[in-house]
Amino acid sequence: MKMIVAVIQDQDSNRLSKALVEADVRATKLASTGGFLKAGNTTFLIGIEDERIDEVLKLIKDNCQSRKKMMTPLSSMGNADSYVHYPVEVQVGGATVFILPVDRFEHF
């Protein structure tokens, strides 16, 4: 068994949840925040048998899309009164996925 940890965009969260339920894949959704954009995203924890990993990865891939987001980092031009905002475009991935070994699984 493996634990799939997938960080996805909030906009894709309901679609992915629905696809996982339809495929009879159990998952837990956590509200999370991206360290860079400091915007909300969603983290799925999916405990799954090894032989179903590719199926779950395909569901994630098919239901999560990459998008461009604008962010405005604060830059100082020399002194404290002259902060300027430079909007920059950031490509946020469809999903960032980690696959971890599970030593033991119990369900009571």
CA torsion angle 91 92 93 96 (round to 10): 140
- In angstroms, give the least distance from the CB of 41 to ligand 2BA: 5
What mask of x and - would describe binding to ligand 2BA in positions 75 to 104, judged by CB under 6 A?
---------------xxxx--x--------
**Out of 7, 19, 25, 46, the residue judged to bind ligand 2BA by CB under 6 A:** 7
- In angstroms, give the least distance from the CB of 7 to ligand 2BA: 4
Residue type, 14: N
Q: Give the contacts of 81 (CB within 8 A, at least 6 positions apart).
A: none
**Out of 2, 15, 27, 34, the residue judged to bind ligand 2BA by CB under 6 A:** 34
Residue 41 or 63 having the CB closest to ligand 2BA: 41
Cβ count near 59 (within 10 Å): 21
Counting residues that bind ligand 2BA (by CB under 6 A) gives 11
